[in-house]
């Protein structure tokens, strides 16, 4: 087999050349406001007789105030009773037309999703149901207690998961008293104390037209899409816009949190504050992160930790941009006795990357992965709906999808390096280690205090 | 299910029910001269293609001392050939804007790439290369065994419910290879030798043991030409079918307890159940599928209505049945008790729900709800190229043939309330039941003896 590897390389070169020439058809976003002023984002997709709808609210856990879990509980209760309908009625109404419904909430947003066939016999009952549960949830006391108990069970499940414990400790260490510091899942004492009035007030304040966005992808013409959006949100009260969460203070010193857990592996999170959605540096940071730890096995962190040393199954890094500054983090899990080695390798990889920047070839290959793979991100209604939801919630420009590839193509190596050096300080890191197994010192009592 | 991007995902649980229905004409099928089957489904919504290579091998093919060898080999498939050494495979796919991964299950091992449609040839070239020319270097094997051990710790050892599920499977089956975990027992992962792997690779990785599934914006004629060009020259193997390992009949209820540090109790119950492959009556798996929907098809299913919202004996609960298993399967019910209730009460409540299905007919409304959900899901699943390929690949690889998709909706629509009661009476009976209970130990306490954990230090 003479020289087959050179054929591979030739093929790669050819393919890379082809890439830049292909302008994938990126769907245009249609945008308007409903009669009561809710912004709507729509992409027609006529091939399959179905529609995906998202209604997004400024109603994530960043709005919990001093009641952690309030946003999540309110969101979870929407499908548990509305008007004269019980939870059983709502479930029946949605299931018997094959509709798929979900309610979720994170730190910034709360999202209601509906997937339905577009045949009006299926779509109409589903839309009517969703519109009513947004507008008139009953929040009956016995139902509140039941869902509260389910959330308390979730907290107990998180307490048995070293990964979940590490996440919570990381956000708390990074954000402290900032609203992003507490987990969307809430906390036991707070959940136990939440009242019906708390929930009603939260709903009235946040589930309003002024705080809503609608994203639609599916087999609809413009007028059908307009009708659908109106039907979903026209019952919402006008409301007042919610101001953004407060700015996030930068961390001033390194801190290490070690929590004992009887697990065979330790879960490690290393990071610091990253960027907000609105920060123009996000794109250069994202591109660079693809080289460091955002591109699967090819990334430097995977190479150093998994491929060269066999220390972990997964090792990655990510920026999680939010309304205000979201985190930058590195995540991995390794056998308890390998923690020190893994920490050293991860920190050294980050330090070297920040100081020296990505190599020219590595950056070009990461860029090719992002731009050449962009069509993959848009293939399918659900994927489009998720993009649209993101654009709607964070007020990204309507031509975001059209411009994404050229935006990525126009970021230079120097810009990547510069953005990383301005945003990431490898000598100021939050490090969380959860694990240690049977012999771990129980450091939980003092672990969350600031250390050096 | 495929949320993370790391290579070598393991499918732990039964796959969801197959509910995609295509018109027969929309799948193009052909077989290369060396016996490799190719299935092409056109989907021109976006300029993208998914290419999947499915091998008829998985944990249910493994002898008991080599558990996990199919999954370990799947990891090693990313470690290079003479022409694409080291991590070149992943690097090339990534640099071409591609997404790739692989997964191992009990009955199959599959590799896939998603690419911009013009780059399909890259996938074929690389997959054909590693089908016959894998290097399997001892140093790579040793390192990858560490990675898989970490994967096992992440997904099983430190996850109380996954650990319980693993022990549940091991208790439910005596002779069937379904008793072994897909990822393998820790001591096997650590003792599989390079020679074992070479033999396993030579035995199963051949064009006549593989199915190529392509879904996307492609022309079937061009796909055929490319497949012939790259996979066509590969020599076939003399395949020996796996030794049959039928489960011996169960002679009464089995119960186990799993004690491990945890907070939340967990109950898992499984009744032996036929699959499309093993059923003597062809309609039975469809009736079991409907029964599954009656109990747990959305929030209006009986489990949600009666146990989560009604008596609140369950904080969370659900059922699972996989009609596409190659060997005799299980109808599974599982859940966490509500805070005021214990595991025994939840078990009792689940048994009552099963008993109701044996005693009374389901209502026409319940049946029509399940049918509506199947019809709708049939459309929704066509939104994902990957999932469309997955359905074809599973059916072909377990030996049912992809055409089983054609009449799936009709077969579900044909199920009667009497048939649902009949399968409940025949299969969901105490003597065919296995029950496992997770009994939480204090998190700050010592773990019960865990050979896997102790072995963790012995790998190198």
Does A49 score more than 60 pLDDT?
A: yes
Residue B344 neighbours by CB under 8 Å, 6+ apart = none
Q: Across chain A, what does the average pLDDT equal? A: 92
Q: Final residue of a domain: which of B230, B265, B294?
A: B230
DSSP per-residue string spanning B321-378: E-TT-SS-EEEEEEEEE-TT--HHHHHHHHHHHHHHHHHSPPPHHHHHHHHHHHHHHH
Our CA angle for B350, B351, B353, nearest 5°, is: 65
Per CATH, which fold does A255-439 belong to? Answer: Cytochrome Bc1 Complex; Chain A, domain 1 (3.30.830)
B208 plus B306 within the same structural domain = no
Write out chain A residues lying below 8 Å of B263, CB-based: 156-157, 159-160
How far apart are the C-alpha atoms of B286 and B423, rounded to whole Å? 10
Distance (Å, whole) CA A283 – CA A279: 9
The pLDDT, as a whole number, for residue B26 is 84
Instruction: Tell me if B339 is assigned to some domain.
Output: yes
Question: Residue B243's pLDDT band (boundaries 50, 70, 90)?
Answer: confident
Question: What is the tens place of the pLDDT at every residue in B28-77?
Answer: 999 999 999 999 999 999 999 999 999 999 999 999 999 999 999 999 99
- Does the pLDDT value for residue B17 go beyond 60? no
Examine residue B290 and state whether it is found in any structural domain, yes or no: yes
User: Is residue B390 included in any domain, yes or no?
Assistant: yes
Taking CB atoms and an 8 Å cutoff, what residues of chain A touch B307?
none
Q: Report yes or no on B342 lying in a domain.
A: yes
Residue with tokens 């049946």: B367
Contact B157 A265 (CB under 8 A): yes
For residue A72, pLDDT over 70 is answered with yes
Do B225 and B258 lie in a common domain? no
Closest CA to B381 of A381, A225, A53, A125: A381
Q: Which tens digits make up the pLDDT trace of A126-145?
A: 999 999 999 999 999 999 99
Asked whether residue A7 carries a pLDDT value surpassing 80, the answer given is: no
pLDDT at res. B436: 98
CA B97 to mean position of chain CA atoms: 27
Distance from CA of A247 to the nearest CA of B (A): 31
Quick check: is B460 in a domain?
Answer: no
- How many Å apart are CA A194 and CA A65, to the nearest integer? 12
Residues A85-98 have a mean pLDDT of 98
Question: What CA–CA distances, in Å, run from A206 to A35, A61, A66, A179, A235?
Answer: 19, 11, 16, 16, 14
The confidence band for B299, taking pLDDT boundaries of 50, 70 and 90, is very high
Question: How much of chain A exceeds pLDDT 90, in percent?
Answer: 90
Identify whether B2 is part of a domain: no
Query: Which residues of B are designated catalytic?
Result: 74
Would the pLDDT of B4 be above 80?
A: no
Residue A223 pLDDT: 97
State the pLDDT confidence band at A437, using cuts at 50, 70 and 90: confident
Q: Is A210 exposed, middle or buried (0-12, 13-18, 19+ CB in 10 A)?
A: middle
- Smallest CA–CA separation between A157 and chain B, in Å? 6
Domain A30-233 and domain A255-439, same fold? Reply is yes
Contact across the interface for A159 and B97, Cβ inside 8 Å: no
Query: Does position B2 have pLDDT exceeding 60, yes or no?
Result: no
End-to-end CA distance of chain B: 32
Number of domains in chain B: 2
- Residue B88's H or E segment, with its range, is helix B88-95
Length of chain A: 452
Whether residue B336 sits in one domain with residue B218: no
Residue B244 inside a domain? The answer is no
Distance CA B456, CA B186 (A): 8
Which residue segment(s) compose the domain that B155 sits in? 9-230
Whether pLDDT at B12 is above 60: no
Check residue A439 and give its pLDDT: 53
Substitution target in A3, A89, A113, A264 with the highest count of B β-carbons within 10 Å is A264
Tell me what pLDDT residue A352 has.
97
More confident: A357 or B448? A357
Evaluate if residue A258 carries a pLDDT over 90: yes
pTM of the entire predicted model: 0.92
Question: What is the structure's pLDDT at A346?
Answer: 98
Distance CA(A437)–CA(A334), nearest Å, equals 12
B55 assigned to some structural domain = yes
Residue spans per domain, chain A: 30-233, 255-439
- Cα A413 from chain centre: 27
Helix, strand, or coil here: B11? coil
Task: Decide: B28 and B39 in contact? Cβ < 8 Å.
Answer: yes
What is the band of B3 on the pLDDT scale with cuts at 50, 70, 90?
very low
pLDDT (tens digit per residue) in B154-209? 999 999 999 999 999 999 999 999 999 999 999 999 999 999 999 999 999 999 99
Is the separation of the CB atoms in A123 and A51 below 8 Å? yes
What integer is the mean pLDDT of B406-420? 96
Residue whose pair of structure tokens reads 């991007």 in the numeric block? B5
> For A400-404, B4-8, B284-288, which range has the lowest pLDDT when averaged over its residues?
B4-8
Tell me the CATH number at B42.
3.30.830.10
A320-323 long-range contacts (CB < 8 A, ≥24 apart) are A320/A274, A321/A274, A321/A275, A321/A276, A321/A277, A321/A279, A321/A282, A322/A107, A322/A108, A322/A180, A322/A276, A322/A277, A323/A62, A323/A108, A323/A244, A323/A245, A323/A276, A323/A277, A323/A394
Residues B357 and B412 in one domain: yes
Q: Are residues B260 and B378 in the same domain?
A: yes
Contacts of residue A166, defined as CB under 8 A and 6 or more positions apart, other chains included, come to: A259, A267, A268, A269, A432, A433, A434
pLDDT of A329 reads: 98
Of A296, A313, A381, the CB nearest to B147: A313
Same domain, B160 and B51: yes
Distance between CA atoms of A62 and A68, rounded to whole angstroms?
9
pLDDT of residue B444: 78
pLDDT value of position B408? 94
Compute the mean pLDDT over every residue in chain B, rounded to the nearest whole number. Answer: 91
Residues B311 and B204 in one domain: no
Interface probe for B, chosen from A80, A95, A191, A309 (most Cβ of B below 10 Å), is: A95
CATH class belonging to A30-233: alpha beta
- Tally Cβ neighbours within 10 Å of residue B445: 11
The percent of residues above 70 in pLDDT, for chain B, comes to 91
Domain stops at, among B195, B230, B265: B230
Closest Cβ–Cβ partner in B114, B372, B380 for A97: B372
Looking at CA atoms only, how far is residue A258 from chain B in angstroms? Answer: 15
């Amino acid at each position: 087999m003479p020289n087959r590897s050179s054929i591979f390389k030739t093929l790669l070169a050819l393919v890379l050349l082809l890439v830049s020439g292909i302008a994938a058809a990126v769907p245009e976003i249609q945008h308007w406001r409903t009669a009561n002023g809710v912004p709507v984002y729509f992409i027609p997709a006529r091939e399959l007789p179905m529609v995906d709808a998202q209604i997004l609210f400024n109603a994530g856990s960043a709005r919990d105030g001093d009641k952690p879990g309030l946003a999540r509980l309110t969101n979870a209760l929407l499908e548990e009773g509305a008007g004269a309908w019980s939870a059983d009625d709502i479930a029946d109404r949605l299931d018997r037309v094959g509709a798929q419904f979900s309610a979720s909430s994170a730190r910034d947003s709360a999202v209601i999703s509906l997937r339905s066939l577009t045949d009006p016999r299926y779509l109409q009952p589903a839309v009517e149901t969703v519109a009513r549960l947004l507008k008139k949830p009953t929040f009956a006391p016995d139902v509140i207690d039941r869902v509260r108990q389910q959330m308390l069970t979730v907290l107990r499940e998180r307490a048995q998961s070293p990964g979940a414990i590490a996440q919570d400790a990381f956000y708390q260490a990074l954000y402290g008293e900032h609203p992003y510091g507490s987990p969307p899942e809430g906390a036991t004492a707070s959940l136990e104390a939440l009242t019906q009035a708390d929930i009603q007030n939260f709903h009235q304040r946040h589930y309003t037209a002024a705080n809503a966005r609608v994203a639609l992808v599916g087999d609809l013409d413009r007028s059908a899409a307009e009708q659908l959006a109106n039907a979903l949100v026209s019952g919402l009260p006008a409301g007042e816009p919610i101001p953004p969460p407060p700015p996030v203070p930068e961390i001033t010193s390194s801190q290490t949190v070690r929590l004992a857990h009887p697990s065979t592996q330790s879960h490690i999170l290393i990071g610091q504050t990253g960027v907000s959605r609105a920060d123009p540096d996000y794109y250069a940071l994202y591109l660079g992160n693809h080289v460091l730890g955002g591109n699967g096995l090819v990334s430097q962190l995977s190479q150093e930790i998994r491929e060269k040393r066999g220390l972990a199954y997964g090792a990655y890094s990510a920026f999680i941009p939010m309304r205000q500054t979201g985190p930058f983090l590195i995540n991995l899990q390794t056998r308890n006795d390998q923690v020190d080695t893994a920490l050293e390798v991860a920190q050294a990889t980050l330090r070297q990357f920040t100081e020296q920047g990505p190599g020219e070839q590595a950056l070009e290959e990461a860029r090719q992965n992002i731009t050449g793979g962009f069509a993959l991100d848009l293939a399918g209604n659900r994927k489009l709906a998720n993009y649209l939801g993101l654009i709607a919630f964070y007020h990204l420009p309507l031509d975001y999808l059209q411009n994404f590839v050229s935006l990525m193509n126009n970021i230079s190596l120097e810009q990547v390096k510069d953005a990383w050096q301005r945003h990431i300080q490898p000598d100021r890191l939050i490090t969380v280690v959860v694990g240690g197994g049977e012999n771990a010192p129980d450091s939980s009592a003092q672990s969350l205090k600031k250390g050096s | 299910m495929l949320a993370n991007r790391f290579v070598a995902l393991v499918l732990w649980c039964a796959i969801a029910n197959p509910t995609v229905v295509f018109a027969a004409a929309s799948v193009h099928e052909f077989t290369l001269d060396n016996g490799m089957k190719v299935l092409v489904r056109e989907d021109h919504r976006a300029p993208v293609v998914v290419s999947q290579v499915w091998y008829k091998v998985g944990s249910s093919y493994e002898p008991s001392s080599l558990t996990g060898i199919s999954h370990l080999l799947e990891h090693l498939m990313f470690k290079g050939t003479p022409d694409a050494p080291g991590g070149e495979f992943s690097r090339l796919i990534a640099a071409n804007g591609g997404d790739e991964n692989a997964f191992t299950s009990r009955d199959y091992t599959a590799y896939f790439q998603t690419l911009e449609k013009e780059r399909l040839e890259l996938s074929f070239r690389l997959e054909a290369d590693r089908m016959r020319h894998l290097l399997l270097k001892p140093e790579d094997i040793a390192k990858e065994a560490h990675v898989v051990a970490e994967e096992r710790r992440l997904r099983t050892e430190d996850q109380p419910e996954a650990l319980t599920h693993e022990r549940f499977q091991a208790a439910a089956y005596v002779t069937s290879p379904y008793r072994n975990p897909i990822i393998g027992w820790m001591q096997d992962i650590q003792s599989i030798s390079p020679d074992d792997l070479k033999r396993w690779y030579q035995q199963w990785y051949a064009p006549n043991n593989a199915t190529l599934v392509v879904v996307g914006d492609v022309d079937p004629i061009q796909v055929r030409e490319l497949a012939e060009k790259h996979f066509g020259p590969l020599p076939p193997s003399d395949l020996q079918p796996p030794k049959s390992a039928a489960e011996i009949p169960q002679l009464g209820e089995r119960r186990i307890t799993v004690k491990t540090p945890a907070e939340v109790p967990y109950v898992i119950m499984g009744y032996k159940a036929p699959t499309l492959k093993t059923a003597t009556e062809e309609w039975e798996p469809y009736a079991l599928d409907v029964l599954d929907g009656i109990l747990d098809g959305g929030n209006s299913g009986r489990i949600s209505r009666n146990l989560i919202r009604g008596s609140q004996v369950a904080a969370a609960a659900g059922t699972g049945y996989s009609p596409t298993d190659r060997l005799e399967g299980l109808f599974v019910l599982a859940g966490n008790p509500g805070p005021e209730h214990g595991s025994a009460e939840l078990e009792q409540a689940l048994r009552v729900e099963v008993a109701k299905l044996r005693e009374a007919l389901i209502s026409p409304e319940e049946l029509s709800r399940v049918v509506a959900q199947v019809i709708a899901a049939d459309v929704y699943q066509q939104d994902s190229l990957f999932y469309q390929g997955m359905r074809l690949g599973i059916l072909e690889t377990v030996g049912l043939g992809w055409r089983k998709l054609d009449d799936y909706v009709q077969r579900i629509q044909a199920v009667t309330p009497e048939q649902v009661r009949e399968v409940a009476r025949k299969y969901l009976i105490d003597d065919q039941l296995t029950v496992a209970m997770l009994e939480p130990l204090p998190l700050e306490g010592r773990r019960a003896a865990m050979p896997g954990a102790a072995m963790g230090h012995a790998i190198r």
